[in-house]
Structure 1
Amino acid sequence: MNDRSYRPLVFAHRGGADELPEHTLAAYLRALDAGADGLECDVRLTRDGHLVCVHDRRLDRTSNGRGLVSSKTLAELDALNFGSWHPAYPADDDVPDFSRLLTLERLLDVVCSSGRRVRLLIETKHPSRYGAEVERRLVRMLRKYGLAEPQPDAPVQVTVMSFAALALRRIRAQAPALPTVYLLELMPPGVGRGRLPFGARTAGPGIDLVRTRPGLLPAMRAAGHQTYVWTVNELPDLELVLEHRVDGVITDRPRFVLEHLGGV
């Protein structure tokens, strides 16, 4: 990377899930303190219609609960511990920022009051028993915060991401100005030639796909699309995506990536 003017955006994946329990407020605050350009979160709907920041369909991996996120009310989820599974969990289990369920509303409150520029990537998780209601609720909440119609000078910029092309279509129909990212784990037909669905202007391939399909990133750039690559945690992968001059690096280790970029 010879051009010192090039510097990709660094996004903290699930808040920077390497250092602290994923999708906890403590993780997001740590990422902001480290200087991450943006934050990434996943959202799911609870049984009573609240958007919560949880990746998995089931609660087993990241909490002391069991069952489906979508089958629980917000109150039921709020009673669970979402941090004790992580090696960095503090001995003092009274620290709510390390253990409490994070709602999207609470995350937006923190981001909007941070006093700094923040790019927020919100992934809507599918399949979901609530289908299109996930995007409807998301757009409604973004409108509440004045984030559904992005303004160039606004400190907080939101981008919606999904592996589901239909989710991107719903976002385009309800909030056409919101930028979208089409996430890729496999290679759908046509994408290798630079085509993205429903107005998406950014491709979001996983690092495994980037390794196995070396022509993908050049094809996206040739088609005029930006590229955000996930989840870039190791130095060889970081160097690979920097060689391709990607626009965004989504990582569990934002501090590591920022330190490397600072030394390049």
Structure 2
Amino acid sequence: MYGKSYINQHNVCHRSPPGRPSVVPRAPRGWHHDAVTTHAPQLSVQVVAHRGASEDAPEHTLAAYRKAIEDGADALECDVRLTADGHLVCVHDRRVNRTSNGRGAVSALELADLAALDFGSWKTGEPYRGRVEEPDWEHRPEDREETSVLTLERLLELVADSGRRIEMAIETKHPTRWAGQVEEKLLGVLGRFGLAAPATAAESPVRIMSFSARSLHRVHAAAPTLPTVYLVQWLSPRLRDGRLPAGVGIAGPSVRIVRNHPGYVERLKRAGHQVHVWTVNEPEDVDLCLELGVDAIITNRPRAVLDQLGR
């Protein structure tokens, strides 16, 4: 078994037998459950860091999430995928080609394979709006944990150790060869952190998001008090009246939908649903979301949005 220093250095742990916990989490004692959440009436919109502060630092890395916490984000968003050896890692794409120096599908790679890759250096020369981006972080190859592959357990530990209330919006990615095993593993990890069975949705610091209604159905069937968010990229006729899949209480429309169909937000609200909009980076889109009364703004630029809100 590897020691704690190896876990801290490489953001991985010993390989456990299938179905066994991969780390011994420090939560739930570090989690803050006593604040008002987005699932109860509130006076201001929640600012959610999309893949961390991903405009400033490489998405889905400790560097990005540390920056988001420092920036004052109310919540952190992450995507989760299941590795070949059964670990949940925070990676958006099906393949690692875009955001690392490796190649291949996450589902076909083991955690040790992913831990050997660099998920940070691509950001230093990324073309951004017609210029070479000057990221608000410094890539230090010797500090591997900051830009190594990030496990969901490690991210939850970071939040638990933050010292304040930070919510989590966790997105399951489908389709995948692992199908329902993703939700099973996810609920197992949340359970070890004391987060899988909140007394009510209003008290939960975690919500599960997906474009897959089937994924959300699996979550709701196993953990009925865990809030779920149905992500919407295209406004199909069956969704126009504000209905959502059974058991889902939060809609997650794209900012493009909100721009083109602002009345959709009102219909969702009238149906009793909350509205969490992604990905909102432009000041005029932030203003639109505020005007429409959305409940959460998911953004790559949490500090800029907070500044615009006067927070």
TM-score (norm 2): 0.80
CA distance in 2, matches of 1:65, 1:130: 21
Checking the alignment, whether the CA contact within 8 Å between 1:63 and 1:83 is kept in structure 2 is: yes
Aligned pair count reads 259
1:225 aligns with 2:225: no
The alpha carbon displacement at 1:90 in A equals 2.8
Aligned ranges 1:114-263 → 2 under 5 Å: 114-151=162-199, 157-262=205-310
* 3-state secondary structure, aligned to 2:275: strand
Checking the alignment, whether the CA contact within 8 Å between 2:97 and 2:103 is kept in structure 1 is: yes
1:66 aligns with 2:129: no
Checking the alignment, whether the CA contact within 8 Å between 1:120 and 1:156 is kept in structure 2 is: no
CA distance in 2, matches of 1:219, 1:191: 10
* 3-state secondary structure, aligned to 2:191: helix
Partner of 2:75: 38
Partner of 1:75: 112
Partner amino acid, structure 1, of 2:263? G
CA distance in 1, matches of 2:258, 2:58: 27
Checking the alignment, whether the CA contact within 8 Å between 2:53 and 2:68 is kept in structure 1 is: yes
Partner of 2:94: 57
Over 6 Å off, 4+ runs: 152-156
* 3-state secondary structure, aligned to 1:31: helix
The alpha carbon displacement at 1:209 in A equals 1.2
CA distance in 1, matches of 2:215, 2:231: 11
The alpha carbon displacement at 1:164 in A equals 0.3
CA distance in 1, matches of 2:210, 2:164: 26
Please, what is the CA RMSD of the aligned residues?
Answer: 1.8
The alpha carbon displacement at 1:155 in A equals 8.9
The alpha carbon displacement at 1:242 in A equals 0.8
The alpha carbon displacement at 1:188 in A equals 3.2
Partner amino acid, structure 2, of 1:53? C
1:101 aligns with 2:149: yes
Checking the alignment, whether the CA contact within 8 Å between 1:226 and 1:247 is kept in structure 2 is: yes
* 1:39-79 Cα shifts (integer Å, max 9, x gaps): 00000000000000000001111000111111100000000
Partner of 1:7: 44
CA distance in 2, matches of 1:143, 1:256: 34
Checking the alignment, whether the CA contact within 8 Å between 1:118 and 1:155 is kept in structure 2 is: no
170 and 152 in structure 1: CA distance in 2 versus 1, 3 angstrom threshold: closer
* 3-state secondary structure, aligned to 1:22: coil
Checking the alignment, whether the CA contact within 8 Å between 1:16 and 1:28 is kept in structure 2 is: yes
* 3-state secondary structure, aligned to 2:123: coil
CA distance in 1, matches of 2:198, 2:207: 9
CA distance in 2, matches of 1:203, 1:230: 11
Checking the alignment, whether the CA contact within 8 Å between 1:118 and 1:156 is kept in structure 2 is: no
CA distance in 2, matches of 1:112, 1:156: 14
91 and 114 in structure 1: CA distance in 2 versus 1, 3 angstrom threshold: closer
Name the stretch that deviates more: 190-199 or 70-79.
Answer: 190-199
CA distance in 2, matches of 1:106, 1:113: 11
The alpha carbon displacement at 1:212 in A equals 1.7
TM-score (norm 1): 0.94
Q: Is there any run of 5+ residues in structure 1 with no aligned partner, and where? A: none
CA distance in 2, matches of 1:59, 1:213: 34
Partner of 2:53: 16
* 1:107-149 Cα shifts (integer Å, max 9, x gaps): 1111112221011000000011100100000011111111011
76 and 134 in structure 1: CA distance in 2 versus 1, 3 angstrom threshold: same
% identical equivalent positions: 53
Checking the alignment, whether the CA contact within 8 Å between 1:201 and 1:226 is kept in structure 2 is: yes
